[in-house]
Amino acid sequence: MDLTTSYLGMRLRTPLVPSASPLSESIDNIRQMEDAGASAVVLYSLFEEEIRHETFELDHHLTYGADSFAESLSYFPEPEECVHHAEEYISHIEKAKAAVDIPIIASLNATTNGAWTEFSKQIEKAGADALELNIYHIPTDPNITGNEIEADYLNILKSVKAEVGIPVAAKVSPFFSNFANIAKQMDEANINGLVLFNRFFQPDFDLEALEVEPRVQLSTPMALRLPMRWIAILYNQIKMDLAATSGIHRATDVIKVLMAGANVAMLCSVLLNYGIDRIKKIEADLKQWMEEHEYESIQQMQGSMSQQNCPDPSAFERAHYMKALQNFTPHHLK
């Protein structure tokens, strides 16, 4: 049975790739990921704030928009925890490359154009096989237009792409007025891959202390539907490889995103909940399902349920939303 897939120009043994998380801060964990069957690893994110020691800006992000969701692991730690400087991150890439044979994908989250390009060049020099640009921006100024925000995203991607030779993927949120259009513009900028989706932090309130409470919230399988839908819509409309992240907990989740058109399925919350060895079970269950349903390869199923190949393309659009509402029966009436 052929489980191989391609992603960012790399031939991978399987579509199972651990996404950015604290687990990859340990070289031993990265070795364990390889032993468990991971075909590549995305390292935890390097943040410009951690390098610049801009405590004021860090506190601002912690209060007004830090991303503490596991799938992107773009959470901003407390100022006193900012210990991962650029030199340490570069060294970590070098150690990871020496420790395992699978590709190492670095992850970068910066705030200024100069930092995006400078750190990208350092990451490439350290030997990373590819680079994931984790673009996290919550606009709060009502005077900034959607066109300006999209232009900022594209400027970042184009600037980095012009400076490095390794493949570049963009990890972005779904919050664009026309996501298909911004994906098309990224594709035209020759970005190699699109990771769907970065999830923004939603703060909670502590009603006793009357404080805003930042909490890490791991995903559930329900979170899978948003990236799965957009991958199915984008499949074969753009040249970029597509990576699904958020909500992938089981082999059936992997199968769904592959059928939508994903090249890889990225794992995070499931590994944080159940341990790195969970990769073995997901791969075994994937093989068993393929055998039972007579699939010989990943390529055979890839994109088979995309909007382009689905018997009813309207299933991804408004008509089926109305149909779903009409057919819904409240649980207490069943």
- Nearest of 9, 1, 2 to residue 241 by alpha carbon: 9
How much is the pTM? 0.85
Least-confidence region, from 134-143, 239-248, 257-266, 296-305: 134-143
Instruction: Tokens for 303, please give them.
Output: 């994109």
Q: Who wins on pLDDT, 136 or 276?
A: 276
Confidence of residue 318 (pLDDT cuts 50, 70, 90): low
Q: What is the pLDDT of residues 138-170, one digit of tens each?
A: 778 899 999 998 999 999 999 999 999 999 999
Q: What confidence score (pLDDT) does residue 63 get?
A: 47
Q: What confidence score (pLDDT) does residue 319 get?
A: 52
Instruction: Tokens for 35, please give them.
Output: 């032993």
Confidence of residue 302 (pLDDT cuts 50, 70, 90): very high
What would the mean pLDDT of 98-126 be, rounded to a whole number?
Answer: 90
Q: What confidence score (pLDDT) does residue 39 get?
A: 98
72 phi, psi to nearest 5 deg: -105, -20
Q: Do 216 and 68 touch, CB atoms closer than 8 A?
A: yes
Confidence of residue 68 (pLDDT cuts 50, 70, 90): very low
What would the mean pLDDT of 302-323 be, rounded to a whole number?
Answer: 75
What sections of 127-249 are H helices per DSSP? 146-163, 179-188, 225-234
The CA R_g of the chain, rounded to the nearest whole Å, is: 20
Q: What is the CATH number of domain 5-306?
A: 3.20.20.70
Buried b (16+ CB within 10 A) or exposed e, 18-46: bbbbebbeeeebbebbbebbbbbbbbbbb
Map tokens 């395992």 to a residue. 100
Instruction: Tokens for 120, please give them.
Output: 């990208």
What residue ranges do the domains of the chain occupy? 5-306
Instruction: Tokens for 272, please give them.
Output: 């944080």
Q: What confidence score (pLDDT) does residue 81 get?
A: 41
Neighbours of 66 (CB within 10 A): 21
